[in-house]
Structures are given as structure tokens and as C-alpha cells.
Amino acid sequence: MLDESFYREQIIDLYESPLNHGELDPHDFSYEEDNPLCGDVIRIDVRLDDEGHVAEAAWSGDGCAISQASASLLTEEIKGKTLAEVKAFPKEELLELIGVPLSMARVKCALLSLKVLKSGAYGIPDKNVMRNQD
């Protein structure tokens, strides 16, 4: 098992050199939200392929190292997943990806990107579900 110092270093690395940082245009859905208690702001853009899988995901925003690292890890992790899998992505999996114990305040920072992703995903119908209803 990897120690916490590895994960702490990973969080700092992702903060300094984030994955998937930017915006997608065009995108199939986009959503932005902030955490008014700490000032973190995250926007996530997602582009789906013809089968309804995540082809690309990007994020932008400002905030603490935990919220920024979380957005990097999440946008990397959802690539190739279906819209239904994105909607069902468990918060425990994201917290496991972050890999360090977090206070309740920091858990909110870590989960902001997941809240943003799911809010955007629930705004569009699942293409596979719609095809199955035809």
C-alpha cells in the first residue's frame, strides 16, 4: 500500500500541473458551481462519442489544491464511461483516488467536482437508454 506522502505529493503535482484543464467547445454538457464557504469554483465540460461514452472531459476553475486535484482525477477517471456510469459514479471512489484522509470541510472541496459533473450529466438524457426505448 502506498503511503500518504505519495498521495500528498500527487495532490500538489496535480495542483501545479493539472490534467484535462481547460474547456471543450463543442461539448455535450457543461456545468459550473462554486462552494461559497471556501471559494472553490469548478466547471466541467464533457463530450460524448456516438455510443454515449465520455470521449473527452475538461475542467476549469479556481480553488484549493484538493478541489483542483479532485477535478483532474475525476475527469481522467470518467473517460470511456457511459453517461449512466457517470451519473452513478460513487463519491467513495473519488475519495479513494485522492488517497489522503480529509476533514469534513476538505471532503466538500474534494466532492465539488463530482457534484458539478453529476449536475451536468443529469441535465441530458442517456443516449443508450433513449436508443433502447425506440
Residue range 59-85, pLDDT digits in tens: 999 999 999 999 999 999 999 999 999
- pLDDT reported for residue 9: 86
Strand ranges of the sheet holding 40-48, from the earlier edge strand across to the other edge: 29-35, 40-48, 54-62
pLDDT above 70 coverage of the chain, percent:
88
Residue 117, classified by CB atoms within 10 Å of its CB into exposed (0-12), middle (13-18) or buried (19+), is buried
Q: How confident is the model at residue 132 (pLDDT cuts 50, 70, 90)?
A: very low
Q: How confident is the model at residue 133 (pLDDT cuts 50, 70, 90)?
A: very low
pTM to 2 decimals?
0.87
CATH 3.90.1010.10 fits 4-125, yes or no: yes
- Taking only the tens place, the pLDDT of each residue in 19-66 is 999 999 999 999 999 998 889 999 999 999 999 999 999 999 999 999
Of 43, 105, 45, nearest to 68 (Cα)? Answer: 43
The predicted model gives 116-124 an average pLDDT of 92
Of 108, 106, 74, nearest to 89 (Cα)? Answer: 74
Judged against a pLDDT cut of 60, whether residue 1 lies above it is answered with no
- Taking only the tens place, the pLDDT of each residue in 5-23 is 766 888 889 889 999 999 9
- What residue spans define the domains of the chain? 4-125
